[in-house]
Chain A
């Protein structure tokens, strides 16, 4: 069937801010969807609150609303735009849920909007527990048997039916407290008794325990004719029990014989056919390792993280095909873009294997509980393609940026055998490395399998790596040994380290394409990965398609992590587009499967490979580029600068020396001196004693961080000697290699500037001001554009300093500078001669395409030639407020208090004509409770230094009609100042106390600051964790609390807000 004639204007709902479990994959899906629909001549309206996305670019849709993803806001947009259709399946769970709500309340029907992609019944059948069970039963698909019971006898009775082991999950206990696995009736009686006692409603779920089963996924597509195909199978390294997002995953499935594979494939097709999905669908199965028994775990009738992975793993663009199906096309009509000859109605054949490796935030959250379970914790992931599992895995560990170049995790070497063996029982982020180290020490694969249930196939491959390393370490490093190690993914550097010998030769990698068909047809698509074979298909491709254009390499930003998120992908992609527009060939190298940059039709060529110097060297040899761009790929790309320069690569834009000058503390200080620009006073120290004396001479509080950090990692504010001792203990635990920096902490106004410099002029598209004073990481602050409260003099100073710094650093391209304004003086905190987190939203709001301009400048154009003058660009008509979004509910034991170390995973934007409206929208979009009618309670518990300032905020809440509760110290200050506060006992004191108060539901907001925090056992952290569990809005900065109180007092309502189409700005 061709394009449906009744579809002219389609609304697409995005997935909102990046949170754990919902990341860049939906920008990739949404962008593909938008492009596919626009290519059909349809009018596309987009709503998404996340400004860092590519899909919210003006070019992506006809109308773009960066507005809160709430029912009211979406309704409002529908009323304004009157689309005839709504595509529900590209915006993750957020988009799907909103679409369903709109359908169920009859609004879509009322507005004459057709729901495309999946109908409500389909979604109900997939998402409602009982409906799902019934549907699966109807088509004979087994699900995991479970039953809710209220007595021990019923539990025992049911367990007899489903056979042991069983899992007991008490209802309404947090984090599964009181649950467990019972292997016998005796054990079950114990666990069930305990679970029933702990459950507030005396209820437990008894479920068949399938931990240890294999976890297999299929990505399936179906069209309106009923054609069904599977795009890809995937198998988890970790058996059932670890969320697939937290597991190492391989594609295709490797340990299944054809009989098992086809059994599950057929099941997946039966499921999608029964659900009548028109588009993509993800089916997850658990397969018993010693029989054909299996169970359907989950079905997602939409595109997902897995579908993004499957798309990149196979070259089959699932989201694009799903979008085309949604508007009427069928699989047999859609051309396979990779071959250009065949159709989308086929199943990709791979001639390589793919390994996905998760990126966890535990390097940031040192106190977080690292046990992996059913709640995903990874913020991002990388994908590696190889000719063997070993090859791909070795690439994966390099790509994940943990400082590893093999499976050897150095710190495990120091652990004794017994402890290391016991560590096999921990299902955590380092398990694969612990397994490897145990194998290295000779623990049998059988033993490891018995404990971990990881399939012996995977263990055998790890053993192979151990054997390769043993060979390397024994005797002469021959060419044969060298080449064998190369084949399995070892770097020269690693081979030399392991063997203690120089490599006898050097072999560069060659490149093979991802072509969807295992070489059966000639591929058109330039999507490559490296191998150590002899035939270099990329080189042939370049020769065959020689356009005579200059080639430029653009390095991407690797896995999404806190501090380096989707915004860098936005920048990389825009750089590529600008390069192509200018007549260059743009070549991308990146390893993140979730992103738009790794969509094979973003650039002229895509290399899916690790971003390490040696990996990149081969790429340079093959591409022989005119130049390389590093300033858009975050720290990942910046780190390559010096190596690239050493290889003789022309670094476009700001020179490697300038980048070094900004990163090296001494050089930077010298530069500031030369320019006469002040920065907060500071010292460099190497040990605790030095640190304490430096801090005392500067005067507390001080800001501490290791030199050479990424995104505020391990940065704290120390208020006392005790803080310094604790901090130094953490940072020296891993052996102190670089000095620690101690700076005077100035609690002033933080201001951020993104600027573009061509060497002659400096264009400042905008100055942003943070709501929270310095001390809260800029990524975690609410940021306002344009700056609202700066005096003329301060503003001019900032412009002046920005110019001076850009020139002094010889910036060619983008530069991001952070200032603190303290006692009306401007100090520089940080200069990053590269793109920043704020570039996407400032570009969108100001209409200055910063990355495009910067790219053109790097290639010789000037600001003037592009029609821009130096200085501050005219202020936009709209105010834009960026509000950070956190994923605390996904991470156990993480302190939610904001500080110098970044904790947010994503952001939203509020755009309006006034500051208050923009902030209101931003807060709503970020999920703050902004119900202006409800008046409950506010719990205040703040550190001594905040006790004076909190009075003003408390008074505002009191005046709004909230009941004020406070812990003893805070309460007495409030009461002394005529603010009626109910005193609440501390968490450590007997109930009723602050914890039971939070449980009571009386509290709407908590304002909590503390001098210490961090460690989960501290009272302040316990209170903040409790707010996460109880979904109570917790404000950990007085400034944020103040802003929230102000907005609440205005009694705003989203229905009265203007919806802003940024295409019309």
Chain B
């Protein structure tokens, strides 16, 4: 068994066993608590620049397959699992997680006390770290690594994961046309829209509002994505323009944050974020709490949203952070969590229906 190491910015070192690709990954270490859906996690562009640790100890049980990928790539930097399974068992499995990581050049480590690491992150907040197959017990190597770890920053996140050019996907019976503003979107957002009869025109993050108006869609979907939302200054400007078009808009995760920023709210970095499939979110309109899938390190500061712009419609039942906003001046609602699930619960998939409903009534009004 080849050794691997995790070196944290505070100097603590964890020793484990190597799997996946060889080499060194430097990134922001985050933990995800979902007990299924590791393949979705591995392919979720929102994890760009991060080393992801699974708190559930048994990873890779059902292998990997093509259908469950949430994007064409693997954008995270490194992967930490307590145990990985090299003999997966599932009728759809096409390979092992080990093979997948090797193919995608992602180093992994197993055999570490992930709970201990999780607690450190919980207490000290999100931390940079390195995952390496080099001998980090060697002081020289460690010192050099530590320097890199400490100076690491996630930059150009959205730019790195967005599509390079527009692409259009049509359902069997087109009812609506939706522009998916791609900040690093998960595939299932597209699938949910297609399933509901939407033609999805995915556009890169640097697309202008003018171009979107040209496409004249029935609705605009602001996707999820990685990084600090406030960094996306030009996108925020374009989104602000879109709010004037009257086209129904639905935002998820980063899309939610960008819309809030475009409307004068502020965002903050959470201590250690929400990443998992068990986050309770209270829908204040319905007076219902839903279990949701989440993956975000930043949140909209509820108080910072100008009352004239909209109101907070969803609240995280654990820590009270903003989970959704309904805008008043234009047809738009956004959520911080992931109604498209994958992985995680599908309990809020009805929000896509609501989006469809918005487009329908908008269309009906236009026809009248």
| Residues in A lying within 8 Å of B, measured CB to CB | 225-230, 252-259, 261-262, 265-266, 269, 289-291, 331-332, 341-343, 345-353, 387-389, 455-457, 460, 463, 487, 512, 517-522, 533-535
Contacts and interface: CB of A to CB of B under 8 A. Distances in A.
A121 B117 CA distance: 49
Nearest to A266: B346
Contacts of B280: 332, 342-343, 345-346
B40 interface: yes
B64 to A, nearest CB: 9
Nearest to B87: A460
Given A257-B68, A519-B122, A229 B291 contact: yes
Given A255-B61, A387-B57, A351 B91 contact: no
B341 A262 contact: yes
Interface string B31-54: 101111101100000000000000
B266 interface: no
B368 to A, nearest CB: 35
A258 B68 contact: yes
A742 B65 CA distance: 66
Contacts of B122: 519-522
Contacts of A520: 31, 33, 55, 118, 122, 276
B91 to A, nearest CB: 4
Contacts of B40: 258
B92 A351 contact: no
Contact of A388 (B34, B57, B118, B343): B57
A227 B290 CA distance: 7
B300 to A, nearest CB: 21
A521 B318 contact: yes
Nearest to A457: B89
Contact of B113 (A230, A266, A534): A534
30 contacts: A230-B291, A256-B36, A257-B37, A257-B39, A258-B34, A258-B36, A259-B67, A261-B36, A262-B344, A265-B345, A291-B91, A332-B289, A345-B289, A345-B291, A346-B279, A347-B291, A349-B35, A350-B56, A351-B55, A351-B115, A353-B57, A387-B82, A387-B83, A388-B58, A457-B85, A487-B111, A519-B55, A519-B115, A520-B33, A521-B318
A521 B82 CA distance: 19
Contacts of B114: 351
Nearest to B91: A290
Closest 6 CB pairs of A and B: A258-B37, A258-B343, A518-B55, A457-B89, A460-B87, A347-B278
B56 A351 contact: yes
A266 B344 CA distance: 11
B211 interface: no
Given A255-B90, A257-B90, A457-B88, A519 B289 contact: no
Interface in B55-92: 55-58, 61-62, 65, 67-68, 82-83, 85, 87-92
B241 interface: no
B282 interface: yes
A262 B317 contact: no
B287 interface: yes
B128 to A, nearest CB: 20
A819 B322 CA distance: 71
Contact of B58 (A348, A389, A522): A389
B33 A255 contact: no
B119 A519 contact: yes
Contacts of B289: 227, 331-332, 343, 345
A348 B83 CA distance: 20
Given A255-B89, A258-B68, A349-B55, A534 B279 contact: no
B198 to A, nearest CB: 21
Contacts of A257: 36-37, 39, 62, 65, 68, 90, 92
Contact of A349 (B111, B278, B290): B278
B342 interface: yes
A346 B274 CA distance: 13
B296 to A, nearest CB: 14
Contacts of A253: 36
A455 B83 CA distance: 19
B55 A341 contact: no
A517 B343 CA distance: 17
Interface string B346-361: 1100000000000000
Nearest to A257: B62
Interface residues on B, range: 35 or more
Given A255-B61, A535-B113, A346 B89 contact: no
B288 interface: yes
B363 interface: no
B242 interface: no
Contacts of A345: 280, 289, 291, 317
A460 B60 CA distance: 13
B324 to A, nearest CB: 16
Residue in B82, B88, B90 whose Cβ sees the most chain A Cβ within 10 Å: B90
B116 interface: yes
B42 to A, nearest CB: 12
Contacts of B347: 228, 266, 269
A512 B113 CA distance: 11
A456 B89 CA distance: 6
Contacts of B68: 257-259
A254 B278 contact: no
Contacts of B276: 349, 518, 520
A289 B55 contact: no
Given A225-B288, A332-B289, A343-B280, A252 B116 contact: no
Contact of A342 (B87, B282, B317): B317
A533 B82 CA distance: 11
A346 B291 contact: yes
Contacts of A533: 113, 115-116
Nearest to A289: B91
Interface in B267-307: 276-280, 282, 287-291
Contacts of A254: 58, 61
Contacts of B91: 289-291
B87 A518 contact: no
B109 to A, nearest CB: 15
Nearest to A540: B119
A587 to B, nearest CB: 21
A349 B61 contact: no
Given A349-B35, A349-B56, A352-B57, A332 B282 contact: yes
A262 B343 contact: yes
Given A225-B288, A258-B344, A457-B85, 9 more contacts: A230-B291, A258-B343, A346-B278, A388-B82, A460-B87, A518-B33, A518-B56, A535-B115, A535-B116
Nearest to A261: B36
Contacts of A517: 33, 278
A332 B317 contact: yes
A444 to B, nearest CB: 13
A1025 to B, nearest CB: 41
A254 B35 CA distance: 9
Contacts of A225: 287-288
A262 B348 CA distance: 13
Nearest to B275: A520
Contacts of A521: 122, 318
Residue in B118, B342, B345 whose Cβ sees the most chain A Cβ within 10 Å: B345
Contacts of A457: 61-62, 85, 87-89
Contacts of A460: 85, 87, 89
Contacts of B31: 519-520
A388 B61 CA distance: 12
Contacts of A226: 288
A387 B115 CA distance: 10
Contacts of A518: 33, 55-56, 115, 118, 276
Contacts of B62: 255-257, 457
A228 B67 CA distance: 28
A255 B56 CA distance: 14
B121 to A, nearest CB: 9
Nearest to A233: B35
